[in-house]
Amino acid sequence: DCSTLLLDKTGTITLGNRQASEFIPVSGVTEQHLAEVAQLSSLADETPEGRSIVVLAKEQYGLRERELAGAELVPFTAQTRMSGVDFGGRAIRKGAADSVRRWVEEAGVDVPPELGEVVDGIASAGGTPLVVAEGADGDDATSTRRALGVIHLKDVVKQGMRERFDELRAMGIRTVMITGDNPLTAAAIAAEA
């Protein structure tokens, strides 16, 4: 008696082990600096995505893992949709574009317009954009926050998914993808699957 099948995107429709494929800085930021900050934001991130960011920074930019003595880790939560680390007077964040944008703008700092274009471009292609930002640690130093760029995470649709969904539709079963991902990314993955 099933008429609708709800499926999670990550790990069900896609392979689920999104991998960092490139660092895309905004104007005025070097790829090297973005890679360094992205790596720092991911040192304590044990997810496949986090590990892939550390690996990409090491392989493409020669950055070795470092110990962050006295660092305060900022864990990812569903409420903040970002994570990071505070250490040595620095605050580093990575996460969903809207969340990191809000974190930067709370300091009264504008986010470069090109950031949205990069985020939308990655999402439209079916990737997941993670925005990286840095600033001074502490509430009194918020005005130094700035967006640095975007990490492009690639997600791959599992082989044969389109055919399986065609079979389900032929049986009269509607399929619905569920995801907390960026709507543009979700639309691109849905179109592919």
Catalytically annotated residues:
8
CA–CA dist 109, 147 (Å, integer): 9
SS3 141: helix
CA terminus-to-terminus distance, the chain: 24
CA–CA dist 46, 99 (Å, integer): 21
Residues 6 or more apart whose CB falls under 8 angstroms from that of 86 comprise 71, 72, 74, 92, 137
CA atoms within 13 A on the CB side of 157: 20
Helix axes 113-124, 97-105, angle to 10 degrees: 170
CA atoms within 13 A on the CB side of 185: 25
Between β-strands 128-136 and 82-87, what pairing exists: parallel, antiparallel or unpaired? Answer: unpaired
Which residues sit opposite 151 in a β-bridge?
A: 23, 130
